Amino acid sequence: MNRLPIAIFLGFALLPLAAVFGAEKYLLDLFMRVMIFAIAALGLDLLVGFGALVSFGHAAFIGIGAYAVAILASHGINDVLISLPVALLAATAFAYLTGSICLRTRGVYFIMITLAFGQMAYFLASSLAPYGGDDGLTMHARSTLFGLTPFKNERLFYYTVLACLIGCYALCRTLVVSRFGRVFRGARENATRMATLGFDVYRYQLTAYAISGALGGLAGFLLANATDFVSPAYMSWQRSGELIIMIILGGLGTLHGAIVGTLAYSLLGEYLSGLTENWKMIFGPLLVLVVLLARGGLLGLAALVTSGWRKQRTERPT
C-alpha cells in the first residue's frame, strides 16, 4: 500500500498545530487554497490520467460552483444545505451537457471544444452585470448551517476542506479500481475493443466527465467561502492550464500526484512570486526540466532517484 497519500493527509492535518508558532492565518489560507485546487486537480486527473481526455475548460466547473454560492448569498440564501447541492448540481449539469457534445470528438478537437465551452462560461460570468460582471462579486458572509456560522472558525473550515479532499481522493481511488474504472481505463487504451466487448464507452466517459465536473463544483463552493469573493477569472483558460500543469508536475494517473503537483506548484509559485513578479519565467523552465528528466512528474522523478539509490546499495561491495 502506498503510504505517500497517508503522509500527505497527515501533514495537512498537523499543519494548524505547527502554524501556531508562525503566521497562522497566512499558512491556513495558503494550504486551504492548495487543498481546494487539489480537489479540482483530482477531478482533472481522473479525466486526463485515466481516460486520456485532455480538458482545457476544467476551470469552468470551479467558477460555476463558486458563482452558485455567491449568487445565492447575494439573495440572502446562505445555508450550506442549499448552496452546496446547488453548486454541485450546477457544475455537474454543465459538465454533463457540454460533455455529451465534447465526447463526440477526439484528440485536438476535444481539447479545443472544451476550451470553447470554458471560455463561453467565462464570458457569461463577465456579462453578469447584476452580480459584479468583470469586477466579480463579494460575499459578505460564509455559508451557514442551520443558522449557525461554523465556517467563521478558520481551523474548523480548514479541517472541513481537508475532509472534503480526503473524501474526494477516496471516491476517485474507489472509482479507478472498480469495474467502472477498469472499463474507463480500457477505453483509454483501445476504445474500439471495449465497444466490441459490449461496453458503452461513451456512457462511461460521460459519467466520468460529470463526476469530474462535480468535483470542480465542490472546489468552487469551498473557494468562494475561503476567499469571500468570486470572479470570472476563476473560469479563465489560464486557470485550466494551471490545473493541467499541476497534474503533470505531480504525475499523471496517480491521483495523489495531483495533490503533490498542486502543493509543489502553489508553494513554489508563492516563493518565486516573492522574488519577482515575473516568476513564471523561472517556473516554466523548471517544469520543462521535470518533464524531460522524468515523464512521471515529481513522483516519477522520486521513484527514479530511489531506484537508483537502492541499486547503488545492492551493488556496493560488502
Residue 1: pLDDT above 50?
A: no
The boundaries of the domain holding residue 209 are 4-315
Q: Quickly state the pLDDT bin for 262 (edges 50, 70, 90).
A: very high
Mean pLDDT for all residues in the chain: 88
List all residues 6 or more positions away from 123 whose beta carbon is below 8 Å from its beta carbon: 232
Q: Give the pLDDT confidence of 162-173 residue by residue, as tens digits.
A: 999 999 999 999
CB 222, CB 68: distance < 8 Å: no
If phi over 0 gives left and psi between -120 and 50 gives alpha, with beta otherwise, what is residue 310? alpha
How many structural domains compose the chain?
1
pLDDT digits (tens, 9 = 90+) for 26-61: 888 899 999 999 999 999 999 998 998 999 999 999
CATH of residue 257? 1.10.3470
Average pLDDT of the segment spanning 11-24: 81
Does the structure show a pLDDT above 80 at 160? yes
pLDDT given at position 50: 92
DSSP state letter for 135: G
Read off the pLDDT of each residue in 59-84 and give the average, rounded to a whole number. 93
**Where are any strands of DSSP class E within the chain?**
137-138, 229-230
| Average pLDDT of span 264-277 | 85
